[in-house]
């Protein structure tokens, strides 16, 4: 059986992280993947969209069996307790994904404070709710709150420089996310084959683990990451296209139907984003080139300088997904979408990934070392 330091640290069976994807919830997907033996992550971006994208908020609340009239903290508490109830008998391990960018700081503090309170009030939850996964922002300043509460802290990075900043901040697991990843991606296009080994070389030691993200979808790519020195991988798009995924059926089917050269990059909510290639997303990319060219030049802009029509276009396109309007919809996905051809159950997917990786790793010495 494949076992890595990530398994030992978190108590999971397999060194795989199911990404905390947004904007839709993944409340049911998280349960399914945690029960399949990997780290399941709850997305929390939908929780912040009650006023701006009520259709996304509605999906988050309904799949989490929460009361839509409750405040954000109470809704999240309900979701956390529901997740715990559904994974505890199978020993599932889960966490929450929290965006800590400047645009999301108020939301981030509500999420993390609620997570801490729920665990303090229900001690057994800590045996299953083990991870705070931060993204899209600076890790400095979060150590005392997250690790002080006993959580394992994971943060995702797009570069060696930010990986070193994570190490300085005290992050336990650094996820090196290559530019081929789906939805929110980095301003500079450094891909996994370069980024992952570079981050491993710079920060991996007895206190800091590294996982890869961006382009990982099966046993071949898991085995490759482990051989490059990673402790595991994160998969987003691959888990999005599963039967238990909470994402709209249109989104899931669009991933499965994607072909060769299936994605492009255009402006997203917190920077560059990778979308499935459609007439709608091509138009968005053209508008991005005119109104936010830094997306293609590695020059960040923010809400004080960006033409907000780009953000509104994204919001309208996500709403179209919710409504099942394929013509106006935009669906985010990683480059790996072109390799995804089916929509299995999460447990069947995990077992197939692990079987393939184990077979490949056993065969490496015989095939290559003589």
Percent of the chain residues past pLDDT 90, beyond the cut = 76
Cα torsion angle, 7, 166, 235, 359, sign: negative
Task: Please check the confidence at residue 367 and state whether its pLDDT lies above 90.
Answer: no
Average pLDDT, the chain: 93
Task: Please check the confidence at residue 40 and state whether its pLDDT lies above 70.
Answer: yes
* Gap between the Cα atoms of 172 and 190, Å rounded: 23
Neighbours of 250 (CB within 10 A): 16
Task: Please check the confidence at residue 301 and state whether its pLDDT lies above 90.
Answer: no
Q: Where are the beta strands (DSSP E) in 236-360?
A: 263-268, 271-276
Q: At what angle do helices 346-364 and 27-35 cross, to 10 degrees?
A: 50
Phi-psi label, residue 91: left if phi above 0, alpha if psi -120 to 50, beta otherwise: left
Q: And the tokens for 199?
A: 């981050």
Beta bridge partners of 272: 267
Predicted pLDDT at 232: 98
Predicted pLDDT at 107: 85
Does residue 295 contact residue 306 with C-beta atoms inside 8 Å?
no
* Gap between the Cα atoms of 212 and 156, Å rounded: 9
Predicted pLDDT at 32: 98
Mean pLDDT (whole number) for 229-233: 98
Predicted pLDDT at 370: 64
Of 335 and 298, which is predicted with more confidence?
335
> Helix (H, G, I), strand (E, B), or coil: what is residue 160?
helix
Does residue 196 contact residue 177 with C-beta atoms inside 8 Å?
no
Least confident segment among 91-100, 138-147, 190-199, 275-284: 138-147
> 151-194, pLDDT tens digit by residue?
999 999 999 999 999 999 999 999 999 999 999 888 889 999 99
Of 259 and 196, which is predicted with more confidence?
196
Least confident segment among 32-41, 99-108, 225-234, 345-354: 99-108
Predicted pLDDT at 269: 83
- What is the spatial order of strands in the sheet that 271-276 belongs to? 183-184, 271-276, 263-268
Q: Which residues of 148-170 are buried (b: 16+ CB within 10 A; e: fewer)?
A: ebebbbbbbbbbbebbebbbebb
| Residue matched to tokens 């300043």 | 141
Give backbone dihedrals phi and psi of 245, rounded to 5 degrees, phi first: -60, 135
* Gap between the Cα atoms of 22 and 182, Å rounded: 11
> 64-115, pLDDT tens digit by residue?
999 988 999 999 999 999 999 999 999 999 999 998 877 777 888 999 999 9
Containing H/E element for 39? strand 39-43
Chain Cα centroid distance, residue 55: 21
Least confident segment among 48-52, 176-180, 348-352: 48-52
Walk me through the domains of the chain, giving residue ranges and CATH numbers.
Answer: 5-247+343-369 (3.20.20.70), 263-332 (no CATH)
Does residue 20 contact residue 43 with C-beta atoms inside 8 Å?
yes
Give backbone dihedrals phi and psi of 293, rounded to 5 degrees, phi first: -65, -20
Percent of the chain residues past pLDDT 70, beyond the cut = 99
Predicted pLDDT at 271: 87
Predicted pLDDT at 142: 87
Task: Please check the confidence at residue 307 and state whether its pLDDT lies above 70.
Answer: yes
Least confident segment among 103-117, 277-291, 332-346: 103-117
């Amino acid at each position: 059986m494949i076992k890595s330091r990530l398994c030992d640290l978190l108590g999971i069976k397999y060194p795989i992280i199911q990404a905390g994807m947004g904007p839709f919830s993944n409340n049911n997907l998280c349960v399914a993947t945690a029960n399949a033996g990997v780290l399941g992550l709850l997305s929390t971006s939908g929780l912040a969209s009650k006023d701006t994208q009520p259709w996304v908020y509605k999906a988050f609340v309904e799949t989490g069996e929460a009361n839509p009239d409750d405040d954000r903290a109470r809704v999240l508490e309900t979701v956390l307790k529901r997740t715990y109830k559904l994974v505890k008998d199978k020993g599932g391990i889960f966490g929450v994904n929290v965006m800590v960018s400047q645009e999301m700081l108020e939301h981030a503090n509500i999420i993390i404070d609620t997570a801490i309170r729920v665990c303090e009030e229900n001690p057994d939850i800590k045996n299953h709710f083990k991870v705070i996964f931060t993204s899209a922002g600076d890790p400095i300043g979060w150590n005392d709150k997250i690790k002080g509460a006993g959580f394992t802290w994971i943060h995702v990075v797009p570069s060696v420089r930010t990986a070193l900043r994570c190490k300085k901040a005290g992050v336990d697991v650094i996820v090196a996310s290559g530019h081929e990843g789906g939805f929110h991606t980095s301003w500079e296009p450094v891909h996994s084959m370069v980024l992952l080994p570079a981050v491993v070389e710079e920060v991996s030691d007895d206190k800091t683990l590294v996982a890869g993200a961006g382009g990982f979808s099966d046993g071949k790519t898991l085995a490759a990451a482990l051989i490059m020195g990673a402790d595991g991988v994160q998969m987003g798009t691959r888990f999005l296209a599963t039967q238990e995924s909470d994402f709209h059926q249109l989104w899931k089917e669009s991933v499965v139907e994607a072909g060769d050269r299936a994605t492009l990059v255009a402006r997203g909510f917190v920077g560059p984003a990778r979308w499935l290639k459609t007439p709608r997303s091509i138009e968005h990319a053209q508008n991005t080139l005119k109104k936010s060219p830094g997306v293609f030049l590695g020059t960040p802009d923010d809400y004080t300088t960006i033409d907000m029509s780009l953000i509104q276009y994204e919001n309208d396109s996500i709403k179209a997904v919710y409504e099942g309007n394929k013509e106006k919809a935009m669906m985010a996905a990683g480059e790996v979408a072109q390799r995804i051809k089916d929509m299995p159950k999460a447990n069947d997917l995990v077992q197939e990934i692990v079987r393939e990786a184990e077979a490949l790793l056993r065969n490496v010495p015989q095939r290559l070392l003589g």
